[in-house]
Chain A
Amino acid sequence: MLNETNLKKLEELRKRYPTSQSLVLPVLWMVQEQEGYISEDSMKYVAVLLEVPFSHILGVVTFYTMLHDKKVGKHHIEVCTNVSCMLRGSAKILEHLEQRLNIKAGEVSPDKKWSLEEVECMGACGNAPMVAIGEEFYENLTLEKLDKLIDSLQ
């Protein structure tokens, strides 16, 4: 399941921790980066790979909000709606995205192109409002900037 590069990386990572269980998060990240999400089969694979019970892996995947056990859209858009962003108009950002993409927060568009998620503080409060797509942060947003951004992702 893990590709060549990641398997090599795993051997490097093993030297960093005294237990193989410590590799659960790093390996789940690799799986998610490779596959886009973490399927039940992947979880079973990781369980065998790291010699950790499947139930433990499942527990970890469901505990951490960034680990997805379902497919998300090609562009997964996260909108922070916590206080600092709320004070600077995050509700409008979310509403606009829901209208434009025709999905609600928590949903994936039928063509699997978009998914939308309302998230907690991202550490961008000084540049609110913001959205994150993949590892990129888009800050100091206005509706115009947001539209341009969505256009560029078409």
Chain B
Amino acid sequence: MNLRPIDAEKLTSWEPVILPRISDLHKIDVYRVNGGYEALKKALAMKPEDVTDEVKKSGLRGRGGACFPTGLKWTFMPKQSKKTKYLCVNGDESEPGTFKDRQIFEFNPHLLIEGTLIACYAMGITTAYIYIRGEYSKWITMVQTALDDAYAQGYVGQNILGTTFSINIYLHKGAGAYICGEESSLMNSIEGQRGYPRVKPPFPAQFGVWGCPTTINNVETISNVPVIMQNGWEWYSKIGYVKQPGPILVGVSGHVNNPGVFEMPTGEPLLEVIYKWVGGVPNNKAIKAVIPGGSSTMILRGDQLEGIRMDADSLKAAGSSIGTAGLIVMDEDTDLIKVIARIAQFYYHESCGQCTPCREGTGWMFKILKRFENYQARMEDLDVLMDVANNIEGNTICALGDAAAWPVQAMLKRFRDEFEKRVYASQPRIAVG
């Protein structure tokens, strides 16, 4: 996997802290020699609420897709609770185009463990589950090895580092279901159920896993916590884009010369990411489109990328979102109808089937898009497609419905010409029956 930019000299200078360039960092001794578990010591010497405050002031926002302010989320947890409190770390990572958490599991698992420890201390939690998708079996073993070492050296377990704080961290292996990345579905999955999302409210901080107060955070989010504790909120809050500061792992795939995961400050210009960080498009082809943050984020035209930056607000203003920062680049020869049909197939396959608009709508969208792909569509299908997408959006229990509707809506809006061309090139259909 590429983790380093092709031409580092020409870039915003950034010395990675989530995926630093230190070999064998996954080994606990190497991690410790390089300042590992120092942030934990620092945190344990503070009052828990001060730790939360530090994270709040840092400006860290969730890296799981919704960009929710992390410190604020932590304050939703009840301080006193008769019930056990839980942290679930979300490593389901299944949004197409997303492959960043996997790098943390492989190259810096102790950072994730240290972050989990600090988060639990801050919220008064004594049990954490790290939920990792089943396909990452090999990476689960890597994290388990790191965890065993951390237990053995007294960083996890009873009375850690001689304090009164005790904590257990367990890994929970998924079994192939994108929907289990949705936080309430993830909790049901841990409970041993099918991964059906729950109706909200109640929210997890009140009624989470086994009905107990629960916080869910993404793997990358949690891995930012030790960095904040180590360097202080002021340092952190000045990295990158001021309203969503910090380093961010951008995963670039598709038609680029040097695909991979790159750690950069938020707010890098999108075109610099494509042309400088990953060395541009093969054969110098033009960019037809990009999907900026995983398959559910709205597609952007290649000719509208000037001035857009990799941060939540800039992408929102451009009519998309940062999502999981999984950037998919498509060159001028890409058949976008095929792309959107494949995306629709994914959401159809992954819909859990609880809500009618999502269950039926994702199937209809997929079928109609297949008609376009196979040169069998009519002009009226364009309106039907938009209608179906609009009727899913906002009418479902969880955001998978929206995630299925957005890419279709955006494609219709920004690439209507592609659909029209397909219709003109279509065989007239013979009415049957």
Interface residues in A88-125 by Cβ distance below 8 A to B read 88, 120-125
Q: Is A29 a contact partner of B192 (Cβ separation < 8 A)?
A: no
Q: Which residue numbers of A lie inside 8 Å of B, CB to CB?
A: 16-19, 21-26, 28-29, 52, 56, 59-60, 63-67, 81-84, 86-88, 120-128, 132, 135-137
A25/B173 contact (C-beta < 8 A), A84-B253, A127-B1, A127-B259 known: yes
B14 in the interface, Cβ–Cβ < 8 Å? no
**What are 6 A-B residue pairs whose CB atoms fall within 8 Å in the complex?**
A25-B175, A64-B174, A66-B135, A83-B97, A88-B254, A121-B96
Q: Is B192 a contact partner of A121 (Cβ separation < 8 A)?
A: no
Q: Is B261 a contact partner of A81 (Cβ separation < 8 A)?
A: no
Q: Is A21 a contact partner of B191 (Cβ separation < 8 A)?
A: yes
Point out the residues of chain B lying under 8 angstroms from A66, CB to CB. Answer: 134-135, 174-176
Complex CA gap A127/B190 in Å reads 30
Complex CA gap A87/B253 in Å reads 9
**Top-4 shortest CB links A-B:** A66-B176, A64-B175, A24-B192, A135-B137
B252 in the interface, Cβ–Cβ < 8 Å? yes
Which residue of the partner chain B has the closest CB to A24?
A: B192
Interface residue total, chain B, C-beta cutoff 8 A: 57
Q: Is B136 a contact partner of A123 (Cβ separation < 8 A)?
A: yes
Complex CA gap A22/B190 in Å reads 6
Complex CA gap A11/B257 in Å reads 50
Q: Is B175 a contact partner of A67 (Cβ separation < 8 A)?
A: yes
Complex CA gap A98/B81 in Å reads 57
Which residue of the partner chain A has the closest CB to B258?
A: A126
Point out the residues of chain A lying under 8 angstroms from B350, CB to CB. Answer: 120
Of B45-53, B65-73, B338-346, B358-366, the one touching chain A: B338-346
Which residue of the partner chain B has the closest CB to A81?
A: B342
Complex CA gap A52/B230 in Å reads 46
Q: Is B255 a contact partner of A120 (Cβ separation < 8 A)?
A: no
B85 in the interface, Cβ–Cβ < 8 Å? no
B251 in the interface, Cβ–Cβ < 8 Å? yes
Point out the residues of chain A lying under 8 angstroms from B98, CB to CB. Answer: 121, 123, 125
Number of A-B contacts (CB under 8 A): 140
Complex CA gap A120/B248 in Å reads 25
Q: Is A125 a contact partner of B99 (Cβ separation < 8 A)?
A: yes
B102 in the interface, Cβ–Cβ < 8 Å? yes
- CB of B344, distance to nearest CB on chain A (Å): 11
B34 in the interface, Cβ–Cβ < 8 Å? no
Q: Is A126 a contact partner of B1 (Cβ separation < 8 A)?
A: yes
B217 in the interface, Cβ–Cβ < 8 Å? no
Of B239-247, B326-334, B392-400, B408-416, the one touching chain A: B326-334
Which of A64, A83, A128 contacts B176, CB < 8 Å?
Answer: A64
Point out the residues of chain A lying under 8 angstroms from B56, CB to CB. Answer: none
New contact pairs (15) apart from A83-B343, A137-B138, CB-CB < 8 Å: A18-B84, A29-B175, A52-B192, A64-B134, A66-B135, A66-B175, A82-B295, A82-B346, A86-B342, A121-B98, A122-B135, A123-B94, A124-B99, A126-B251, A126-B261
Point out the residues of chain B lying under 8 angstroms from A83, CB to CB. Answer: 96-97, 254, 291, 295, 328, 339, 342-343
Interface residues in B2-30 by Cβ distance below 8 A to A read 2
Q: Is A84 a contact partner of B97 (Cβ separation < 8 A)?
A: yes
Interface residues in B343-374 by Cβ distance below 8 A to A read 343, 346, 349-350, 352
Q: Is B190 a contact partner of A120 (Cβ separation < 8 A)?
A: no
- CB of A111, distance to nearest CB on chain B (Å): 26
Q: Is A123 a contact partner of B133 (Cβ separation < 8 A)?
A: yes
- CB of A73, distance to nearest CB on chain B (Å): 18
A26/B173 contact (C-beta < 8 A), A87-B255, A128-B259 known: yes
Which of A16, A82, A128 contacts B342, CB < 8 Å?
Answer: A82
Point out the residues of chain A lying under 8 angstroms from B1, CB to CB. Answer: 126-127
Which residue of the partner chain B has the closest CB to A136?
A: B138
- CB of A152, distance to nearest CB on chain B (Å): 18
Point out the residues of chain A lying under 8 angstroms from B261, CB to CB. Answer: 126
Complex CA gap A65/B352 in Å reads 12
Interface residues in B223-275 by Cβ distance below 8 A to A read 251-255, 259-261
